[in-house]
Amino acid sequence: MIRLDKYLADMGVGTRQEVKRYIRKGSVSVDGKTVKAPEQKIDGETQRVAVDGQEIGYAAYEYYMLNKPAGVISATEDQRDRTVIDLIGDRKRKDLFPAGRLDKDTEGLLLITNDGQLAHRLLSPRRHVDKTYYARIRGRVTEEDVGSFAHGVNIGSGEAQEWTAPGVLEIIAGGEESEILLTIQEGKYHQVKRMFEAVGKEVAYLRRERMGTLTLDRDLKPGEYRPLTAEELALLKAL
Spans in the chain with pLDDT lower than 70 = none
Which pLDDT score, from 0 to 100, does residue 212 have?
95
Domain boundaries, the chain: 2-55, 63-125+213-237, 130-211
Which pLDDT score, from 0 to 100, does residue 142 have?
96
Which pLDDT score, from 0 to 100, does residue 220 have?
98
Which pLDDT score, from 0 to 100, does residue 67 have?
98
Question: Is residue 91 within 8 Å of residue 208, measured between CB atoms?
Answer: no
- Which candidate in 5, 43, 52, 103 is catalytic? 103
Residue 106 makes CB contacts below 8 A (sequence gap 6+) with 68, 70, 206, 207, 208
Fold equal for 2-55 and 130-211:
no
Closest CA to 217 of 234, 230, 235, 229: 229
Instruction: Give yes or no: 81 in active site.
Output: no
CATH of domain 130-211: 3.30.70.1560
Question: Is residue 76 within 8 Å of residue 83, measured between CB atoms?
Answer: yes
The pair phi, psi for residue 18, each rounded to 5°, is -65, -40
Residue 196 makes CB contacts below 8 A (sequence gap 6+) with 135, 137, 139, 202, 203
Class of domain 63-125+213-237: alpha beta
Which pLDDT score, from 0 to 100, does residue 11 have?
84
What would the pLDDT profile of 137-180 be if each residue is shown by its tens digit? 999 999 999 999 999 999 998 888 999 999 999 999 988 899 99
CA distance 59 to 43: 12
Which pLDDT score, from 0 to 100, does residue 181 have?
98
Which pLDDT score, from 0 to 100, does residue 118 have?
95
What would the pLDDT profile of 123-132 be if each residue is shown by its tens digit? 988 889 999 9
- Left (φ > 0), alpha (ψ -120 to 50) or beta: where does 173 sit? beta
Candidates 3.90.226.10, 3.40.50.20, 3.10.290.10, 3.40.109.10; correct CATH number of 2-55? 3.10.290.10
Q: Model pTM? A: 0.84
Sign (positive/negative) of CA torsion 29, 34, 38, 41?
negative
